[in-house]
Amino acid sequence: MPNADVLQLNNVTAKYGPTQVLHGISIKVREGGITTLLGANGAGKTTTLRAIFNKVSRSGEIIFAGESITGKAPSEIARLGFAHVPENRGTFTQMTTNENLELGAYMRSDKDGVARDLERMFRRFPVLKERRHQQAGTLSGGEQQMLAIARALMSNPRVLLLDEPSFGLAPLIVREIFEIMKAINAEDGTSILLIEQNAKMSLELADYGYLLEVGEISMQGTAADLRNDDAVRRSYLGN
């Protein structure tokens, strides 16, 4: 069904020991769209991803492609068609760029498709082709972020979950990475959930956004509406 929601969180709570961090949040990620979850440090953005993957004590319901995944184990959920780029990027620093990309496809058995996707990644991220025999740990921060995204895409995911891809990178590099993500979304139809502190750039890329404040969704709307909202402008866009 086109434009249905590929992922839904319904009234999800999460806690670490006695400390509740998410207080019943509801989020929808539209199939083929780019949704952003914005929030300051400690708002609960990473915890939201942990809740999706059942890696934190939680309640509520999580639906992927029309089916509840609430009771599934983390390893089962990872195989359903999610690719996750964690905040620390998670690349294998001792391995080469090529080896990292091949690892991203380890669950696939279609060797021809994997070879084609590798070439596609090199077209999208030409710098990774130049650096294909270089150890990932010696790449620049921006190149490592590109590698992390390309590696995640090698699993041919239905949904790409990105945790603060702008973290620690210069604005020009972030812009370049966001442009590539826009192209990936437009050309391949990969749905994206972009978790970010950088509201300005995220709202340029995304079509729909949620604001997470101390574990609650305080506002949601189209990216254009959020960009034009006075409170959002004051608190998140600095103008």
Indicate the residue among 33 and 39 with the shorter CB distance to ligand ATP. Answer: 39
Considering only residues 5 to 24 of the shown chain, the ones binding ligand ATP according to CB under 6 A are 16, 19, 21
By CB under 6 A, tell whether 74 contacts ligand ATP.
no
Number of residues binding to ligand ATP, judged by CB under 6 A: 12
Residue 84: phi and psi, rounded to 5, are -120, 125
Structure tokens at 156: 């041919």
Indicate the residue among 42 and 189 with the shorter CB distance to ligand ATP. Answer: 42
Q: How far is the CB of 43 from ligand ATP (least distance, A)?
A: 4
60 exposed, middle or buried (CB, 10 Å; 0-12, 13-18, 19+)?
Answer: middle
Q: How far is the CB of 15 from ligand ATP (least distance, A)?
A: 9
By CB under 6 A, tell whether 209 contacts ligand ATP.
no
Indicate the residue among 26 and 135 with the shorter CB distance to ligand ATP. Answer: 26
Indicate the residue among 105 and 162 with the shorter CB distance to ligand ATP. Answer: 162
Q: How far is the CB of 20 from ligand ATP (least distance, A)?
A: 9
Closest to 38 (Cα-Cα) out of 239, 238, 213: 213
Binding mask 32-61 for ligand ATP (x = CB under 6 A): -------x-xxxxxxx--------------
Amino acid, res. 29: V
Distance CA 64, CA 67 (A): 5
Indicate the residue among 82 and 122 with the shorter CB distance to ligand ATP. Answer: 82
Distance CA 133, CA 112 (A): 21
Instruction: Please answer whether residues 147 and 116 qualify as being in contact, where contact means their C-beta atoms are separated by less than 8 angstroms.
Output: no
Using CA of residue 119, residue 105, residue 110, residue 190, what is the dihedral sign?
A: negative
By CB under 6 A, tell whether 109 contacts ligand ATP.
no
Using CA of residue 23, residue 51, residue 209, residue 195, what is the dihedral sign?
A: positive
Amino acid, res. 81: G
Q: What H or E segment, with its residue span, contains residue 26?
A: strand 19-30
Considering only residues 169 to 188 of the shown chain, the ones binding ligand ATP according to CB under 6 A are none
Sheet containing 159-163: order of strands: 82-85, 159-163, 191-196, 34-39, 208-213, 216-222
By CB under 6 A, tell whether 84 contacts ligand ATP.
no
Q: Is 140 helix (H, G, I), strand (E, B) or coil?
A: coil
Binding mask 110-139 for ligand ATP (x = CB under 6 A): ------------------------------
Indicate the residue among 121 and 194 with the shorter CB distance to ligand ATP. Answer: 194
Which residues in this chain contact ligand ATP in the complex, by CB under 6 A?
16, 19, 21, 39, 41-47, 197
